[in-house]
Chains A and B, each alone.
Chain A
Amino acid sequence: MSAQSQPLSAYVTLVSNDGYEFKILRDAACIAGTIKKALDPASGFREVAENRMELPTINGVVLEKVCEYLYYNQKNMESKDVPDLEIPPELCLELLIAADYLDV
């Protein structure tokens, strides 16, 4: 029984470097290019079998904001008037580095 034969779960888990786990919708998570590649069933990475991706460069606070952005992006994909996403100034540089790493 290989990972490819299993149906894809609706939710995936993102783990920060300090051990916080965020369970978010797979569709939302795959907006980020790096997560999409890691969870691609064709790649055969360990992440696919476990539906779990560890992000050793991103800490919990930043990852929470990243998850918020992923849902914000998914929700406003079709809308004409996009509300602003609140980004606290002390987080913006770490978010920038995380966004670059996650390709989002």
Chain B
Amino acid sequence: MDEDPLPSLSHATGATTTPNSPFLDPRFHALKSSSPPPLFSENDSLDTADVTNYESPREKRKRAGTWWQTGPRGAPKRRQFNRNFDSGVYMMSDDSEASAPASSVMSHLGFDGTSDIPSDPPLAPSHPDNQEGNDHTAGSMSASEARLFRAVQHCLDSNMTYFSFAFDLQDHELHHLHQLNQIITLPPGDDIEVPSEGQYRSMVPEIHLNLSWNKLRYLSPTVFQLQHLTTLTLRNNCIESVPPHIKDLTSLQTLDLCYNSIRELPCELLALCAMSGPGRLTRLELAGNPIYGFNDNKLSRLFLHQCSTTEIPPEFMYTASGQHRRVQNRRELLQKATNMDWSAFEGHHMYTPPPVKGNTSNPNVFDDKLFLVCRTAASYYDQTGWLLRNSPVLPTQQKLAPSYAQPSCVTHTPPSPGSAPEVWFDRPSSSKVLSLATLSLVRAYKTEPDRVREEIEYCVGGSVPPQVEALLAIAQENEISMFRPLRSCHCCGKDYIAPRAEWIEGWFFQQQIVPIRVAVCSWACVPDVIAKRPEPLLWKYDRRGENAFDIQERERADRLRGLRSGF
């Protein structure tokens, strides 16, 4: 009986016919490289690095040097002949391009097209009227920018220290404000009474800047370079987040952010609040913002009055030592908070202020103190900034793709009341090593921040891999909101691009609980006190504990509600 011969099995012939590896894809072969000739660490010197011992597909390089140094080969370096209108004092010292005599001599000799430089000496005109004619840069400004420029000039001429600009300004138009650094305190003149002996008179100017009623969203690095800024008022703008540069304003005493769109504040603000001496932040106004709040209505009315607080479930908030947060009133909050053991939270991140010590029986003692009251569970992210599965969504985060927001239902309705799922407190890994992709991209941004994307596109020949693209997008976001593509870790201070974990801490400051957002560069940077599951409930809401003050408060709230519904 004849049978059809069976086809031979592929594995019978041995290892020679194992399936082809998908990693040998020929489309990867033609990768271009802009590097100089390779030199291995085992090579002794450049002389032995020869084309005979190194062959790879490469094409003629279009660039003269390394990628971060120069443009195309042979292009002469362009120099701009702009004059700096700074002091009006001519320094005949060097041949720098900022030196005014050099450029005017050049224009007389007809070296280049700098003859359009006005022949007037570059002193700031004292009358705002002839400003328009003299200033050739005013033509390229928008109307609001020009108004700001003139106003700044006028204020400088009269050496004022109170500035108020409301010209519908945008973020990029604020760069004229750097001139406010020229303000000085006037020394006592003939008409000014000389301070008597022993009376100290500070010569440091106090600058008060009011930028209310503009269209600011992200502010500008210029604002944070004003080192003598004492008061910053930013009411009625569109600010969503305060840049971390706020910590550079070491003289700031009053920060007014009312009527913006702020949900949380950066960790760096704690540095200002905890400072000692005259530069300490003593007033922080947050009314009229959708501040990330607490579901305790009484508390919100007491501390965050006028804020439209976003309600959060009680099980989401824990006190510092992990207790369930249900606060009756401020007095109780202060007493509870100061009676707790804070040792675990000392220095848990870079901006943790020194612990509060004082008399616990008198809550007024703590009015100007700063201490941690509560915190959320940490949200963990993967390398490219996506929320990990089973990790809670940061409560203030709004811009999340729907498919990645799936744990939000878990967040707000945990399986059993008062407890969060166990997976929230599993730290994914405890390695502090950043990924190679992050390390190399950080290096690229530190070398040449402006051309990274362009160079990557050149390197891969067009399409950027999606993971790299995601990192680039985050760097771009950082650039807009923090003025630089790299962030700085709140726990170890290292530069990174995409945060791997974030959480919100509630700090009691100035009669209100300020939500502070902390972001770190690796999962291991999350302090143990934040990563671990909080202790079981010890601090319970007790109805019998209601005192007369509480009842009065509730009655007042009911009356108010009745009034409001009447309208």
Contacts and interface: CB of A to CB of B under 8 A. Distances in A.
A89 B443 contact: yes
Given A59-B56, A69-B436, A38 B444 contact: no
A49 B19 CA distance: 11
B38 A89 contact: no
Contacts of A2: 11
A97 B433 contact: no
Interface stretch (B164-172, B221-229, B329-337, B454-462): B454-462
Interface string B260-284: 0000000000000000000000000
Nearest to B39: A61
Interface stretch (B21-29, B90-98, B535-543): B21-29
B36 A96 contact: no
A92 B441 contact: yes
**Interface range, A side:** 35 or more
B323 to A, nearest CB: 29
Contacts of A64: 40-41
Contact of B35 (A78, A91, A101): A91
Q: Is the interface of B mostly helix, strand, loop or mixed?
A: loop
Given A44-B19, A61-B39, A97 B441 contact: no
Contact of A46 (B19, B41, B68): B19
Give the most central of A47, A54, A89: most B CB within 10 Å.
Answer: A89
Contacts of A100: 437, 465, 467-468
A76 B434 CA distance: 10
B54 A96 contact: no
B433 A99 contact: no
B213 interface: no
Given A46-B18, A59-B33, A61-B40, A94 B433 contact: no
Nearest to B66: A90
Contacts of A96: 437, 440-441, 444, 456, 468
Given A64-B40, A80-B432, A92-B440, 12 more contacts: A46-B20, A59-B56, A61-B38, A61-B39, A89-B66, A89-B68, A90-B35, A90-B67, A93-B440, A95-B440, A97-B465, A102-B436
Interface of A: 2-3, 17-18, 20, 34, 38, 44-47, 49-50, 53-57, 59-61, 64, 66, 69, 72-73, 76-80, 82, 85, 87, 89-102, 104
16 contacts: A17-B29, A44-B18, A46-B19, A49-B18, A57-B29, A64-B41, A76-B431, A78-B430, A92-B443, A93-B456, A96-B468, A97-B468, A99-B435, A100-B468, A101-B28, A104-B436
